[in-house]
Structure 1
């Protein structure tokens, strides 16, 4: 199997995950900024591999499988880091619940897409604008939370902004999940599948 450039970028994104975990916990000055840079680099490769795949027509079955897996791993690992290191009390509970909603939605929608693909109706469950908005909000929130992690009282206000953005992303996660569920609901009820519309949606 020959691996093309977009797939190499996806593999690089996966390889960045353990680097981010190690940097996140290492007690050196600027570890927060370094971890945030690693996360942003991973996010940039997420955009770049998709752009190159479309622009240069460098698509492959392995790349199509690996890209959404890498995206979900990046988000899930980052959320686990933030939840584990978050202070206790209601803010910690809110962070944990929001992370559970986001990860739970990703697992559920991935399973839904897989089932729809098995019955030849995967195009019915395609990305909507709300899914793209959720992704952008989620990425911005995670960058802010990583950057401001354990930086002291002077950064607490910005950290709270990151928490608020993550909660909003959690709300959008539920909204987009219901959108996908509504699209697939007729098939889930056992109704005869209709032909999907034209076009193919990307993962979000």
Structure 2
């Protein structure tokens, strides 16, 4: 970046006369981890298109895209920590991208299966994400966001959730292994409720004082 003498002549300040130079600072949030997170959001409309294509290969490819998005979910966090590139923008965007991808996948599967057997755990997972997102924002306003940090239960729930969605997206409902995906999804839904209860118990003393 170019520098210019200040009015006092004894200090230097950034040269803001060149907009191309001055705007470089605003792009600092666009590091590789955040680009991966944005790519995960960009995958969503492609996932929807692949899901509805009337070809035999479209479902496995849609599942593969979802799997790739799941890998970027792990990779962006790993790179942000490894390269010390964590940013407030990334901290905000990463969970948003995760929830969008999962909710869209669940909505697609609800339509495909059209049965309470799959709709019930899907609604449990979606409802939990809404509750915990609101809880984290509320706790952040009180400076207690760490009280609802991700636990090992939440990580296990996320892993099972991704595995179940990968199976269910790849296979038609009539496939014999599709039942395995449903069972894993129910397990993820149970852990979803358990983790939500744990988060609410940890946050309740602070929430009750703010009422």
TM-score, reference length from structure 1? 0.87
CA deviations 1:43-84 (Å, max 9, x no partner) are 011111001000000111111111000000010000000001
CA deviations 1:145-187 (Å, max 9, x no partner) are 001125xx4x2x2101101110111111000000100000101
Q: Look up the SS of the partner of 2:85 in the other structure.
A: coil
The partner residue of 1:27 within 31, 45, 54 is 54
Cα distance between partner residues in 1 of 2:152 and 2:132: 16
Cα distance between partner residues in 2 of 1:129 and 1:103: 19
**Structure 1 segments (4+ residues) deviating >2 Å:** none
The partner residue of 1:134 within 148, 157, 160 is 157
**Structure 1: which 5+ runs fail to align?**
192-204
Cα distance between partner residues in 1 of 2:150 and 2:32: 25
**Where does residue 161 of structure 1 map in the other structure?**
180
Shift of 1:94: 2.2
How large is the Cα RMSD of the aligned pairs?
Answer: 1.4
**Where does residue 170 of structure 1 map in the other structure?**
189
Which residues in structure 2 correspond to 1:1-204 (within 5 Å)? 1-2=26-27, 3-87=30-114, 92-149=115-172, 153=174, 155=175, 157-190=176-209
Which structure has the higher relative contact order (CA within 8 Å, separation 6+)?
1
Q: Look up the SS of the partner of 1:123 in the other structure.
A: helix
Cα distance between partner residues in 1 of 2:55 and 2:122: 27
Larger radius of gyration: 2
**Structure 2: which 5+ runs fail to align?**
1-25
TM-score, reference length from structure 2? 0.84
Q: Look up the SS of the partner of 1:133 in the other structure.
A: helix
Q: How many residues align?
A: 184
